[in-house]
Amino acid sequence: MPDAIRKALASLRWQGRNLPWLGLAALVVIIDLASKAWISNSFFYGQRLEVLPVFDLVLLHNTGAAFSFLASAGGWQRVFFIGIGLVACLFLWGWLNQRQDSEKLLALALALILGGALGNLHDRILHGYVVDFLAFHWNHNYFPAFNLADSAITVGAGLILWLTLFGKKEKTG
């Protein structure tokens, strides 16, 4: 087996130090799935409820990716996005395992992204689409609807971007 593959597989071993972060990821999944179940059982498809002048709840099903990318691709995208989701979750798990114990903000970011990815992966596997229900708008211009998993992914990605731009740099030399 090539050394790179052996090293990648070794990074996926269980590490008890990550239990709190995996607990956070699990909490994100639970809250995400509970919110999707509530909206799915309370609304009919396409039903819109104005909560604020700039925010609605609406039940939508997204068979594509962000901004409904590839939503009308004919069905092959389901397997494609499930595959990407599985690879992403394994990558996030490996990254979480390889970080230093002192990198708590990175662990937080990875846990949020992992939880969000697992929540949306659950939907894709079970339903073939992701349940979206949060819709922001200004006048009649709507931002694409999203869900709590998407929000966790966005916050986690924002934290990683923050760390990349403004985090402490390790001293070399």
Question: Does 32 qualify as catalytic in the annotation?
Answer: no
**Catalytic residue of the set 32, 56, 123, 150:** 150
Measured distance CA(64)–CA(159) in Å, rounded: 25
Question: Does 101 qualify as catalytic in the annotation?
Answer: no
Phi then psi dihedrals of residue 13, to 5 deg: -65, 150
**Catalytic residue of the set 32, 56, 123, 132:** 132
The tokens for 110 are 């990875």
3-state DSSP of the chain: CCHHHHHHHHCCCCCHHHHHHHHHHHHHHHHHHHHHHHHHHHCCCCCEEEEECCEEEEEEEECCCHHHCCCCCCCHHHHHHHHHHHHHHHHHHHHHHHCCCCCHHHHHHHHHHHHHHHHHHHHHHHHCCEEEEEEEEECCEECCCECHHHHHHHHHHHHHHHHHHHCCCCCCC
Which residues are catalytic, by number?
A: 132, 150
